[in-house]
């Protein structure tokens, strides 16, 4: 499998590429966003690791360009930007994960493996959540005649909630199923993904009726779902 790394800092780029290659992956190295876009078009890599603050074409813009034609390839952001608004902005654009700098080799490899497993293991069967019909193979949800684009992880979250209708799903269960057992969870990661998902599927995201918070446990589907 081939992983495209877009990073304008040459030391970080070299270190990240070396640790990924030692795990048996091939890498493509791009020093800026425009070079990464051309490499993606030419080589169609299996996963993208994108720095956010890059000259020419930043990571957000690059992610948007990729998602215009490819909703499936996993995209991980690499960034020192730790504000929740920055993370949510990336998830809104279709990124699968957000790796904060400085990061460890083990964390990066665990997140890459988890993202690749989700892509390979996405189940084809559709299922319903309230008024929505989720189509994993098309990476979307249909509400009447309206199509709502979803990422593989968002589909995984909805599938887990669907499988446990009437029950509260714990945070640990979400991380084990939707991120992988070797994932290093951040306390806000799940909440940020739920926030983005609610904005996509809830009629009123500030007063949700499909995905409900269960204090001190996690989340569950509402009665309408």
Own/partner pairs, 141-150, CB within 8 angstroms, 24+ separation: 141/200, 141/201, 143/201, 148/200, 148/201, 149/71, 149/94, 149/200, 150/197, 150/200
Check pLDDT > 60 for residue 51: yes
Check pLDDT > 90 for residue 86: no
**Helices in 135-215 by DSSP H: which ranges?**
152-163, 171-174, 189-201
Check pLDDT > 60 for residue 73: yes
Judge: domain 127-221, CATH 1.10.10.10. yes
Task: Give the span between the Cα atoms of 162 and 180, in whole angstroms.
Answer: 18
pLDDT average, residue stretch 190-217? 94
Domain boundaries, the chain: 2-121, 127-221
Could you tell me the pLDDT band of residue 80, with boundaries at 50, 70 and 90?
Answer: confident
Task: Give the span between the Cα atoms of 91 and 196, in whole angstroms.
Answer: 7
Average model confidence (pLDDT) across the chain: 89
Check pLDDT > 90 for residue 185: no
Check pLDDT > 80 for residue 119: no
Which position has the higher pLDDT, 187 or 208?
208
Task: Give the span between the Cα atoms of 110 and 138, in whole angstroms.
Answer: 26
Could you tell me the pLDDT band of residue 30, with boundaries at 50, 70 and 90?
Answer: very high
Task: Tell me the pLDDT tens digit for each residue of 129-176.
Answer: 888 889 888 889 988 668 999 999 999 999 999 999 889 999 999 998
pLDDT of residue 102: 85
pLDDT average, residue stretch 174-200? 86
- Yes or no: say if 142 and 148 are a contact pair by the CB < 8 Å rule: yes
CB-facing half-sphere around the CA of 93: CA atoms within 13 A? 24
Phi, psi (degrees; rounded to nearest 5) at 129: -130, 105
Could you tell me the pLDDT band of residue 48, with boundaries at 50, 70 and 90?
Answer: very high
pLDDT of residue 36: 97
Residue ranges with strand state E in 34-145: 47-51, 75-79, 97-100, 127-129, 132-135, 140-143
CATH of domain 2-121: 3.40.50.2300
Q: 3-state class of 104 per DSSP?
A: coil
N-term to C-term CA, the chain: 38
pLDDT average, residue stretch 84-88? 81
């Amino acid at each position: 499998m081939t992983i495209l790394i877009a990073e304008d800092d040459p030391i970080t780029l070299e270190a990240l590429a070396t640790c990924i290659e030692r795990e048996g992956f091939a890498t493509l190295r791009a020093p800026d966003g425009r070079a990464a876009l051309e490499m993606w078009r030419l080589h169609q890599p299996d996963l993208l690791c994108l720095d956010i603050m890059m000259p020419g074409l930043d990571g957000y813009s690059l992610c948007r360009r990729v998602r215009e034609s490819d909703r499936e390839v996993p995209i991980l952001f690499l960034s020192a930007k730790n504000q929740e608004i920055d993370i949510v902005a990336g998830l809104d654009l279709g990124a699968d994960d957000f790796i904060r700098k400085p990061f460890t080799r083990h964390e990066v490899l665990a997140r890459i493996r988890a993202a690749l497993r989700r892509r390979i293991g996405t189940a084809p069967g559709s299922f319903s959540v309230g008024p929505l019909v989720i189509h994993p193979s098309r990476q979307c949800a249909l509400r009447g005649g309206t199509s709502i684009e979803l990422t593989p992880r968002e589909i995984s979250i909805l599938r887990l909630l669907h499988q446990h209708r009437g029950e509260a799903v714990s945070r640990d269960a979400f991380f084990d199923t939707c991120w992988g057992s070797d994932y290093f969870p951040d306390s806000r990661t799940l909440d940020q993904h739920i926030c983005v998902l609610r904005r996509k599927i809830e009629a009123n995201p500030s007063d949700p009726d499909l995905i409900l918070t269960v204090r001190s446990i996690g989340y569950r589907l509402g009665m309408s779902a």
